[in-house]
Amino acid sequence: MNFPGSGIVKGLAVTARNMVGSYFEKDRLTTEQYPEERPKLPENSRSFPFLVYDGEDAEAGMRCVSCKICEKECPPQCIFIIQDRDAAGKALKRPKVFDIDISVCMSCQICVEVCPFESIRMDTDYGLSSFDRFGSLVLDKAKLLKSNSYYQSIHPTEAAETDARLEADRKKKEAAASAKAAAAQKATKAAEPIKPEAAA
Amino acid sequence: MDLLERAPIELKSWLLNWLGSFGVPEWILAVLSAVTVIGTVIGVFLGLFALASVLERKILARAQNRYGPNRVGPFGLFQPVADGIKMITKEDLVPRAADRVVHFLAPVVMMVPALMVLAILPYGRDMVPAELDAGILYFFAVGAGTEVAVFMAGWASNNKYSVLGAMRAIAQMISYEIPLVIAAIITAMISGSLSPSAIVAAQGGFAFGFLPQWFALTPWGFTACLLFYIGALAESNRSPFDLPEGESELVAGHLTEYSGFKYATFFMAEYVGMFAVCGMLVTLFLGGWQAPLPFLAIVPTWCWFLGKICFVAFTMIWVRATLPRLRIDHLLAFAWKFLLPMSFAAFFSAACWHYAGRGPLAWLLSLAIVAIPYLILGASFSDRFSVSRRTYQFSE
């Protein structure tokens, strides 16, 4: 039989169990002590875009060719690109300036979707707050460029896929190039017999 | 041990003698004597307040499987310092339409009775700051001043939430004061005195050589103790009776328009008042400064008193962690339809216990006199508040 007030006693027992239990059973406490304990982010988490480069040298291995597709597609228009030019004024296949304003960026990943060169990818770093309202929230090229190995470390599955695709593309290109070269050789070989004639 | 027991008294008289040796006039010494006592008591209770403000948050957190404050100092124990700095440096806002004088006076009027009631508590053997024959009367008479302060705060703020909160506070405090006072009167009736020291003395000694003769260990005393406890929760506006500042419907009740140091004063007064009423409960029902077992009497009496206060305060925090806030009509119905009849039952039970000779038979008789009304009233309340499947009249 429930005597009057038994509900209160039951409730007190529950809170007492929590009070004592939370000191002995660590899995009762679900709080993460943030600066010391970092959450294990899921692999597909994303914060803001960054630029991938291959190899060791950021400038030389930069995948970006300054096609500006991302700049055009970006819904909040947070990407700003100036194409690099050589001394003669001829456009080069690399950006001179590549800025992303992360105070505007909405992490939609559309730039990643549209990039044909697998150059722009989403980062997972979220600790980007600063005391500076404007300067440090605009990430320039030097800050945006991160190595392919870093990309592999934060998104292993996606990076492996990208690498495989790039590798396949490279092989196809090589095959095409060698086929072209062979064809060219054939053509030259075919053309060769004419030469003596011409010489004659 | 005896030295430790008398340490506070000896320390005071040593200090006064030392000052007296410089030829300080008698009346200054008398004033100094009073000031040291007052300073010590206020200091101890403000220390308890600081400790309680952080420990309450930690205990509540643990009851909900959280860590609670743990950033400031070791285990977050310096949190009150950070809170204090924050409170003092905050802007002190007064609404333009507020009654500035009353708005300013309300926290002061709240704080004064909270500190004044500390005067009559017996903190240890021969340690009563003001030995009053009608100490209990003084306690409740002065303690009632906080109700005025709450209404002053609500009225002067010129804010609908403040006034609503203050109205509720008045309704609640006056309703709960009745069972509270009747519960206290029962102990005065049994011990034959309104003096807290005499009531503590009446609970001295041990039955069969080990069982303390605290009033809380008799059927009527246990009932009265619970009634006093519930009344104390309501008087100090603590959950589940924190309706006057129920943030889910009233923003913060009478505290809505207070900020900065005035808010901190209210907060402090509430906690000091809570500790004072805990001290009264300990004095009336839990044997005051007396040790619970004979061999534990080597621990100084003032340690027992403070320990018991901390224990009662802990249970208040525990209750706060457990029970949800009541609705205002349930709250008043509970006071008038349950607590008031129960307090009369406890009153009658105590009288029967006394006239039946205070023996085992008296024990059983008084148990029956409180248990039967409890079961009847409890059953009727359980029916009224029982949760059943909700039926909808118009849908379906």
Query: Residue A107's domain spans which residues?
Result: 49-150
At B67-86, the pLDDT tens digits run 888 888 788 888 888 888 88
* pLDDT grade for B29, boundaries at 50, 70 and 90: confident
Residues shown for chain B:
396
**Is A5 part of any domain?**
no
- B71–A contact, CB cutoff 8 A: no
**How many domains are contained in chain A?**
1
Q: Does A153 touch chain B (CB under 8 A)?
A: no
Cβ(B350)–Cβ(B189) below 8 Å: yes
Question: Which residues of chain A have a CB within 8 Å of the CB of B375?
Answer: 3-4
| Contact of A70 with A117, CB cutoff 8 Å | no
Q: Does residue A162 contact residue A170 with C-beta atoms inside 8 Å? A: no
Amino acid at position B193, single letter: S
Q: Which residue has the tokens 């060219």?
A: A184
Percent of chain B with pLDDT over 90: 5
Distance in Å, alpha carbon of B61 to nearest chain A alpha carbon: 8
Residue A195 has pLDDT above 70, yes or no: no
B372–chain A Cβ distance below 8 A for any pair: no
Residue A178 lies in a domain: no
DSSP line for B74-121:
GGGTTHHHHHHHHHHHS-----TTS-HHHHHHHHHHHHHHHHHGGGG-
Beta-bridge mates of residue A122: A49
The pLDDT value recorded for residue B315 is 92
User: Quick check: is A163 in a domain?
Assistant: no
Q: Which of A 20-79 lie inside 8 A of B, CB atoms?
A: 21-23, 28-31, 33
Residue in A11, A16, A18 nearest the CB of B64: A18
Element (H, E) at B206: strand B206-207
What's the pLDDT score for residue A166?
87
User: CA of B384: which chain A residue's CA is closest?
Assistant: A4
Residue A20 to chain B, least CA–CA distance (Å): 8
Asked if residue A200 is part of any domain, the answer here is no
Most A CBs within 10 Å: which of B56, B62, B372, B382, as the mutation test of the A interface? B62
Q: Is B66 touching A (CB cutoff 8 A)?
A: yes
Does residue A137 lie within any of the structural domains? yes
Distances (CA, A) of B393 to A47, B25, B142, B383: 51, 83, 51, 21
Structure confidence by residue, pLDDT tens digits, B157-185: 888 888 888 888 888 888 888 999 999 89
Contact A4 B374 (CB under 8 A): yes
Cβ contacts below 8 Å, chain A against chain B, sum to 47
Kindly tell me if the per-residue pLDDT of A33 is higher than 70. yes
Decide which of B198 and A134 is more confident.
Answer: B198
**In a domain? residue A107:** yes
**Model ipTM?**
0.77
- Report pTM: 0.78
Average model confidence (pLDDT) across chain A: 85
pLDDT of residue A197: 52
Say if A10 falls within a structural domain: no
Among B140-149, B194-203, B251-260, B339-348, which stretch is predicted with the lowest mean pLDDT? B251-260
Q: Report the pLDDT value the prediction gives residue A1, as an integer from 0 to 100.
A: 47
Q: Is B318 on the interface with A (CB under 8 A)?
A: yes
Q: What is the pLDDT of residues B338-381, one digit of tens each?
A: 889 999 999 988 888 888 887 788 888 888 888 888 888 888 87
User: B62 vs A23: CB contact, 8 Å cut-off?
Assistant: yes
Residue pLDDT, tens place only, A143-191 = 888 888 888 888 888 888 888 988 898 899 888 888 888 888 888 777 6
Looking at per-residue pLDDT, the higher value among B389 and B122 belongs to: B122
How big is chain A, counted in residues? 200
Give residue B286's pLDDT.
Answer: 87
Measured in angstroms, the CA of A4 and the nearest CA of chain B are apart by: 5
CATH number at residue A145: 3.30.70.3270
A93: in domain: yes
Test mutation, A10, A22, A34, chain B, max B CBs within 10 A: A22
Mean pLDDT of chain B: 84
B321: chain A residues, CB-CB within 8 Å: 15, 19
Q: Given an 8 Å threshold on Cβ–Cβ distance, is A33 in contact with B67?
A: yes
B302-306: long-range contacts (C-beta < 8 A, 24 or more apart)? Answer: B302/B5, B302/B8, B302/B123, B302/B124, B302/B127, B304/B124, B305/B121, B305/B122, B305/B123, B305/B124, B305/B279, B306/B44, B306/B48, B306/B123
Locate the chain A residue with the closest alpha carbon to B316. A12
Residue A102 pLDDT more than 70?
yes
